[in-house]
Amino acid sequence: MRYFVELQYDGAAYCGWQRQPDAPTVQQTIEQRLSMLRRVPTEIVGAGRTDTGVNASFYVAHFDSDTPIEDCEQLTYKLNRVLPDDIAIKRIYEVDAAKHARFDARQREYTYFITPYKQPFRRFSAWYFAVDLDVVKMNEAAQRLLRYDDFTSFAKLNSNNKTNICHISHVEWVVEDDLTLRFTIRADRFLRNMVRAIVGTLVDVGRGRYSVEEFEDIIRSRDLSRSSAGAPACGLFLSDVRYE
């Protein structure tokens, strides 16, 4: 039997989602607590990797069990009791045994936050960037992403990607009521460090370093050296994973 787990986490204290030797990760932390509660070694499979310091406001993972779980709500409650405060399990539910948290995901969505003024309580959830940005131009440049599917210019070196092809379906900058900038991007898949590299380059459009046309030329160039430094991990959230 296979069970899906919907969860959230603050990534500040972790070296990303994926299990690593001698480094704290979200996957490893959940596996340890889940195995303890179930009294049997339990591995979990996530919908995808997130890098060090990156957050998830909505994440999906799965695990298998040889015996049925009688009360998923009770397991959710117990798991939340033993997990650290920066990881929260939203719900656990049974799915078809062939359904896969990673391979069956059809779309993923990331959200990035930039605050124009110092906010002590958002230091781990937004990029403090006290420079005026032209959001209109940033939105115009962002829309150019929809014209392309090869994002080599925003792919981290030595990531061993089989392909740098991604199909972006939605991209948008929004100014919230407190003047926080919210960037949303949705695609079938993302390359490692891709969203942070895109945000960093779009911020350079907003501050006047690049024009909209120059941003599009960076995409077409398929040259990582042309893009800007990646935005800090703290402002990035995996915000949705969609399945058929």
Q: pLDDT by residue (tens digit) across 69-80?
A: 999 999 999 999
Question: What does the pLDDT look like over 194-237, one tens digit per residue?
Answer: 999 999 999 999 999 999 999 999 999 999 999 999 999 999 99
Give this prediction's pTM: 0.94
Q: In the numeric block, which tokens belong to residue 153? A: 């210019």
- My answer on whether 81 and 116 are in the same domain is no
Rounded percentage of the chain residues whose pLDDT exceeds 70: 99
Quick check: is 51 catalytic? yes
Specify whether 183 is located in the same domain as 203: yes
Cα-based distances in Å from 2 to 26, 42, 64, 100, 208: 20, 12, 4, 9, 50
pLDDT reading at 97 higher than 70: yes
* CATH (domain of 89): 3.30.70.580
Residue 91 CB neighbours (<10 A) = 12
Task: Tell whether 102 is covered by a domain.
Answer: no
Asked if 46 and 160 sit in the same domain, the reply is no
Per-residue pLDDT, 46: 97
* CATH number for position 222: 3.30.70.660
pLDDT digits (tens, 9 = 90+) for 152-200: 999 987 666 789 999 999 999 999 999 999 999 999 999 999 999 999 9
Domain extent for 86: 2-95
pLDDT at 156: 82
Same domain (yes/no): 134, 227 = yes
> pLDDT tens across 103-162, in order?
999 999 999 999 999 999 999 999 999 999 999 999 999 999 999 999 999 998 766 678
Q: Write down the pLDDT at residue 228.
A: 94
Instruction: For residues 46 and 133, state if they share a domain.
Output: no
The domain tally of the chain equals 2
Other CB atoms within 10 A of residue 42 CB: 18
Q: Are 36 and 111 within one domain?
A: no
Of the three residues 64, 95, 126, the one that is the final residue of a domain is 95
In a domain, 69, yes or no: yes
Is 14 inside a domain boundary?
Answer: yes
3-state secondary structure of 96: coil
The single residue of 51, 85, 134, 204 carrying the catalytic annotation is: 51
The DSSP code sequence of 198-225 is HHHHHHHHHTTSS-HHHHHHHHHHT-GG
